[in-house]
Amino acid sequence: MSESKTLIGPGVSVALVPCPALGDTTLFLRLAWRLQAAGAKVSLASASLASIHEYLPGLEIIGGKPDVVGLAERNDLVICAIDWQVDASLGNVAYLAGKKLPRAFKPEQQPVSLFGYEIAGAHNVICRDPKAGKSMVQWIDLYAEQILGLDLTQPIAGLQAMPVPRADAARRVAIFPTTPHASKNFSCSGFRRLARSLAARGWLVEFVVIPAEQQRLSAEYADYRVHAFADLKGLVDFLRTCSVVISNDSGGGHLGSLMGLRTFTITRRRTDFTWRPGFNELNCVINPVLSFKWLGNTVWRPFIPLRRIVQALPNWKGRQA
């Protein structure tokens, strides 16, 4: 371990700037907890996390649009999603991308230093090898260990002071049926079939969408409650009442996993795809038993084995929660 990898400890101030996407935000929150466990003073510049600051004791949460230059002036180190890259040359700002840095970005021309020591590899991609089978959580932990020199054996805080779960939480399931990318979305009819099968086994099924979708999807899922939340706290508090999250490849699955829930991720990708929820061991990836190309599109939705989800969950029919 080089000298630069032993510098983060008590009293060192580190600011993290995640991109707005919920899945990416959960990864930066994981990194924040790793830094906090090392004794660093950590702040997170995130508009979405501002609403759950009470569940994040010990972390400073800064709402609004991130001021990367100002954070660099006030902190020893800043680790920033490449989405917020600024033109200024800042020697204590490291940029992270999911899978690739912009072609025009030249890491070797922008060295990152902490207390005069260069941090090799500070500018990086989180996923360095998409074929390795590691989840993004494992990749962010490797960045913490290999680049920042953090000890992964140290326990991390996690969400704190959460609401008490409801008495029926064990039999409640939340389905996230959409993502910002239509190509990732399983079909409405498929989610309805799944919801009916789970309800027939005694599960209490509810859907979660973004506010702009609520009216339209309330009609699509007329037999079920369809929730939309104005902020992250509303979503977190709702998921606290559930034990299972079913989603496409989306932030809802990552948040559920972060909160310790059992998650099922429906995707056309392989079962060990990088962006699967990975904060606990209770995730199952459900992919098609076959797929094929037709008129330039991949046909996969009819071949999702929903029975795998239904059979993996207990039958509550006639049982007490």
**Which is nearest to 102 in space by CA: 116, 78, 84?**
84
Chain centroid to CA 242: 18
Q: What is the pLDDT of residue 6?
A: 72
- 3-state DSSP assignment of residue 41: strand
Contact 254, 26 (CB under 8 A): yes
pTM of the entire predicted model: 0.94
Q: What is the pLDDT of residue 4?
A: 46
**Which is nearest to 234 in space by CA: 218, 219, 214?**
214
Phi, psi of 167 (to 5 degrees): -60, -30
Q: What is the pLDDT of residue 317?
A: 87
Question: Structural domains in the chain?
Answer: 3-147 (3.40.50), 169-312 (3.40.50.2000)
Cα distances (angstroms) measured from residue 139 to each of 27, 31, 142, 181, 220: 9, 11, 5, 24, 37
Q: What is the pLDDT of residue 227?
A: 98
What's the chain's Rg over C-alpha atoms?
21
Q: What is the pLDDT of residue 2?
A: 44
Measured CA to CA, the distance from residue 281 to residue 260 in angstroms comes to 9
Measured CA to CA, the distance from residue 30 to residue 39 in angstroms comes to 15
The stretches in the chain having pLDDT less than 70 are 1-5, 320-321
Measured CA to CA, the distance from residue 321 to residue 303 in angstroms comes to 32
Q: What is the pLDDT of residue 296?
A: 83
